[in-house]
């Protein structure tokens, strides 16, 4: 049998801390490795597989589009791009969209748009305030935006114009705001930073401050969007509307794509100001349209909200039983379990043995981000495995 992991070590750059599992197939919330072993997938492709694996609507849309037209270029109009744009805009508070290929790229575009707005309406202001512990992507500018020194070291000099301040603290944003500031960029809930849920009024206060200062609010919903919080977008729960929102991950159910959407008054790009070869590609947009349409028409968001609460209740039960659990936090189906010590990696490995895939978000915390279509029985199964593992740990 081919040793894929040996070949990976030979041919790929050593950037990912991979688990020793080679996945070859998926169906719903389950995946199988090359030895035929089955796993319950609570990683969900890092919050991408919102409809699970091999969802029939996505498979049909991608197959049909692949047979019809995979790629042209943005020199021409293409129908899937326009259909997805209409569906996104008609189901959000925004007016226009730009499609790209990843989360980092969506955030780059959003910052470029904010700077373009700054150059036109804010005397050339270019600065963007972001939060400590945030995660906005791996391009150089997004590394500067990401308020985590471990991602920034080794890459100096980073692009100028980013200030990282404490999350969930509007005063810190106020102190960092200057005449050079054009925008504040935040996650609605910090995902990679450890599933950090801010106070209920945080985004409202930030919104008021941005309005007072005439600066823009960019919400990075790359991880929280597409239903994961129990509403289609997280901003809908916070009582505010951002000026710009970024999406990727679940947007096309697993086909790489990203987008930023904005209010009309902020859409200041002129032809040639921004672009992309692959962005809005017919194949990706057909997948995106099928994904979003299914989410909207089949109660996926409601399911996520209900099953998310069920998952938290199950984890709370484990927390009452095991002293080593110190906190259960999250919203919808983005949940973290924090331990009193750095045992997340060993718990993850034991769960893997038992057929449950999880993610270590911090040395002392596990993250759960399963497909949004899972049911209570899959949660019961996952909790059962965790309970057995924690009893031994």
Q: Which of 150, 184, 191, 151 is nearest to 169 (CA)?
A: 184
Interaction between residue 102 and ligand PLP (CB under 6 A): yes
Q: How far is the CB of 49 from ligand PLP (least distance, A)?
A: 14
Residue 112 falls in the annotated catalytic set: no
For the chain, the first-to-last Cα distance in angstroms comes to: 34
Contact indicator for 31, 53 with CB cutoff of 8 Å: yes
| Contacting residue, 130, 196, 223, 303, with ligand PLP by CB under 6 A | 223
What does residue 197 show for φ and ψ, rounded to 5 degrees?
-95, 120
Q: Is 108 in the site for ligand PLP (CB under 6 A)?
A: no
What does the per-residue mask of binding to ligand PLP show for 52-91, with x meaning CB under 6 A?
Answer: ----------------------------------------
Query: Is 249 in the active site?
Result: yes
Q: Indicate the burial class of 7 (C-beta count within 10 angstroms; 0-12, 13-18, 19 or more).
A: exposed
- Residue 104 in the binding site for ligand PLP (CB under 6 A): yes
Q: Considering only the stretches 8-16, 130-138, 157-165, 364-372, report the one whose residues sit in contact with ligand PLP under the rule CB under 6 A.
A: 130-138
> In which residue are the tokens 């959000």 written?
92
- Cα 83 to Cα 103: distance, rounded to the nearest angstrom: 21
Query: Cβ of residue 111: shortest distance to ligand PLP, in angstroms?
Result: 12
Q: Is 92 or 134 the residue whose CB approaches ligand PLP more closely?
A: 134
**Residue 215 near residue 184, CB atoms below 8 Å:** yes
Considering the candidates 42, 243, 249, 339, report the single residue annotated as catalytic. Answer: 249
Strand order in the sheet with 325-331: 325-331, 334-339, 365-368, 359-362
Applying CB under 6 A, the span of 97-105, 151-159, 306-314, 337-345 interacting with ligand PLP comes to: 97-105
Contact between 332 and 228 under an 8 Å Cβ cutoff? The reply is: yes
- 222 lies in the site for ligand PLP, by CB under 6 A: yes
Binding flag, residue 228, ligand PLP (CB under 6 A): no
What is the nearest approach in angstroms of ligand PLP to the Cβ of residue 106? 7
Q: Residue 16 phi/psi, 5° resolution?
A: -105, 135
Residue numbers of the site for ligand PLP (CB under 6 A)? Answer: 46, 102-104, 107, 135-137, 187, 191-192, 220, 222-223, 248
Catalytic residues, by residue number, are 135, 220, 249
């Amino acid at each position: 049998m081919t040793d894929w992991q040996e070949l990976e070590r030979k041919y790929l750059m050593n950037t990912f801390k991979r688990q020793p599992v080679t996945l070859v197939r998926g169906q719903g919330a389950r995946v199988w490795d090359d030895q035929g072993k089955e796993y319950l997938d609570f990683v969900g492709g890092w919050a991408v597989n919102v409809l699970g694996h091999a969802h029939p609507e996505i498979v049909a849309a991608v197959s049909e589009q692949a047979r019809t037209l995979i790629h042209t270029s943005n020199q021409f109009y293409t129908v899937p791009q326009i259909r997805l744009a209409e569906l996104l805009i008609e189901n959000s508070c925004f007016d226009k969209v730009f499609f790209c290929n990843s989360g980092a790229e969506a955030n780059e575009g959003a910052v470029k748009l904010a700077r373009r707005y700054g150059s036109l309406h804010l005397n050339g202001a270019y600065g963007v305030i972001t939060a400590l512990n945030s995660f906005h992507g791996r391009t150089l500018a997004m590394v500067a935006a990401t308020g985590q020194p471990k991602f920034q070291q080794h890459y100096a000099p980073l692009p100028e114009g980013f200030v990282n301040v404490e999350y969930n603290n509007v005063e810190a944003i106020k102190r960092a705001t200057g005449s050079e500031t054009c925008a504040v960029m935040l996650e609605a809930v910090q995902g990679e930073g450890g599933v950090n849920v801010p106070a209920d009024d945080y985004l409202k206060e930030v919104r008021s401050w941005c309005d007072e200062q005439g600066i823009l609010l960019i919400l990075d919903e790359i991880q929280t969007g597409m239903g994961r919080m129990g509403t289609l977008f997280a901003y809908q729960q916070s009582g505010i509307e951002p000026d710009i929102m970024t999406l990727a991950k679940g947007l096309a159910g697993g086909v790489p794509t990203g987008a930023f959407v904005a209010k009309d008054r902020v859409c200041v790009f002129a032809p040639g100001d921004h672009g992309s070869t692959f962005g809005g590609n017919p194949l990706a947009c057909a997948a995106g349209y099928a994904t979003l349409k299914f989410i909207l028409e089949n109660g996926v968001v409601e399911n996520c909200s209900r099953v998310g609460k069920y998952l938290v209740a199950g984890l709370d039960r484990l927390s009452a039983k095991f002293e080593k659990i110190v906190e259960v936090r999250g919203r919808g189906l983005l949940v973290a379990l924090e331990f009193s010590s750095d045992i997340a990696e060993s718990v993850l490995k034991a769960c893997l043995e038992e057929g449950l895939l999880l993610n270590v978000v911090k040395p002392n915390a596990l993250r759960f981000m399963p497909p949004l279509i899972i049911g209570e029985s899959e949660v019961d199964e996952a909790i059962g495995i965790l309970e057995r593992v924690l009893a031994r740990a």
